[in-house]
Amino acid sequence: MSTSKVRTRFAPSPTGYMHVGNLRTALYAYLIAKHENGDFILRIEDTDQERYVEDAVSVIYNTLKITGLKHDEGPDIGGPVGPYVQSERKNIYLEYAKKLIEKGEAYYCFCAKERLDIIRTNAEALKRPYRYDKHCLHLSKEEIKEKLDSGVPYVIRQNNPTTGTTIFNDKIYGKISVDNSELDDMILIKSDGLPTYNFANVVDDHLMGITHVVRGSEYLSSAPKYNRLYEAFGWEVPIYVHCPPIMKDAHNKLSKRNGDASFEDLLKKGYLKKAVINYIALLGWNPGTTQEIFSMEELKENFDFMNINKAPAIFDTIKLKWMNGEYIRKLSLEEFHKLALPYYKEVLHKDLDLLKISELVQSRCELLSEIPEQIDFFEDLPEYSPDMYIHKKMKTNYENSLDSLNKLLPVLKDIDDWNFENIKNSTMNLIKELEVKNGLILWPFRTAVSGKKFTPGGAFEIADIIGKEETLKRIEVGIEKLQNIQ
């Protein structure tokens, strides 16, 4: 398929796990295409049947749907260059591998595992990298036909030159040169008839008209092999966009093996999908400005793959959390309330005005999963230490806190119409009457009604939400706690 239109692809393996690096690859491929009004294609690479996980394709579809990375062609919606699942393209790969054999660019290899093991052992003993010794390249046509007719298992290998160099120009990393003597005659078609990852990629990318291939920098060393395949076929080489690795810290990569979060894990931890996408976009790409918060439309408009960095990107959870907080605060109260409700239900069972709680929590929340811990005191007064009444800045201690609560209790009892304004006015009038600093009354008040050092909202908001009866009961508990240590 020849095309002047930009066409990119996301080609995940169905392993049941959407790694952050995979999602970044999908995002960058999507943004490169959409920045130029091009096509974004989804292809499922399932030729490695040992790694196949049931329902893993659903994870891929769901992730693309949730993140808004809408593909223009793919297994579920079809397109002009299907099928878009590699296991359904088996005959195509064999046909193209045989074309390479006819050109002398590939050959049948019938070597048994035992022989290959000996070559590997010898290479290890000599401390050299393992490379196949081209033994089967020298078989006559008659020998090959005889083995094929006899059903001897075979693979098809690429026939790489042993002299000279292969040069590869990468848009991000520049010129990469490799001695051909270092290139192994990699397997193109495995003994089960399925292609290897490297070969299937090249054939599919060409036939599907892919103009830009986005992948991790760990594949840089494989680039010369890809180039040799393109040259062997006489095909145009696509633009390769290699992304820097995403690191957990200076020494360790993010990985499933280390238990690092997948995209689904991040959502479960209370991150918003738009915040995650925004953050992942900046893992390796520099917009060239100080802007950090980007909508998807702004990313499409601003994304230039030439601004991808070579240096590894550190996955900074503190930065992601900050960004998530920014996104939470940008939500309307109704949007936030809808997202917060499941978290409220974990800890709140009383008949409370949850919308009022949302008004307090939204501006103080960076992660949705933090909500239960922030609001559990609305349900029940936690067990707390009287030491919480001591506050240096507020100049409160056991004695004056007890005095404040004793004076506050009858004032609150006298409120007939229990609401925020009346609670506030009555309390502030008491402060004025006593001629004391606000903190001397408000710190013991908030401590008594919450039992916590940090709360969303102050004493007036909390008292309004939990109601008069519960407020008075909690203040009486506070008085009792303080009396017990006098």
Q: Is 243 annotated as a binding residue?
A: no
365 is in an annotated binding site: no
Show the tokens assigned to 235.
Answer: 């095909």
Angstrom distance (rounded) from CA 361 to CA 343: 12
Read off the DSSP letter of residue 316.
-
Q: Which are the contacts of 394, defined by CB distance < 8 A and separation ≥ 6?
A: 437, 439, 440, 442, 443
DSSP assignments along 180-230, one per residue:
GGG----EEE-TTSPBPHHHHHHHHHHHTT--EEEEEGGGGGGHHHHHHHH
Catalytically annotated residue among 65, 99, 103, 256: 256
Annotation-wise, does 111 bind a ligand? Answer: yes
Quickly tell me which residue has 């307090």 as its tokens: 360
**256 catalytic per annotation:** yes
Asked if residue 109 belongs to a known ligand binding site, the reply is yes
Looking at residue 280, its amino acid is I
Sequence letter at residue 162: T
**What is the maximum span of the chain, computed from C-alpha positions, in angstroms?**
110
**Nearest of 461, 474, 449 to residue 357 by alpha carbon:** 461
Secondary structure of residue 453 in the 3-state scheme: coil
Question: Which strand (E) or helix (H) includes residue 146?
Answer: helix 141-149
> E strand or H helix at 161, and its extent?
none
Amino acid identity, residue 234? G
- Cα separation, 104 vs 109, whole angstroms: 13
Q: CA nearest 485: which of 403, 395, 387, 396?
A: 387
Q: How far apart are CA 81 and CA 60, in angstroms?
A: 20
- The annotation places the binding site for Zn(2+) at 109, 111, 136, 138
Annotated binding site for ATP: 256
Q: Which residues are annotated as a binding site?
A: 109, 111, 136, 138, 256
Which positions are annotated as active-site residues? 256
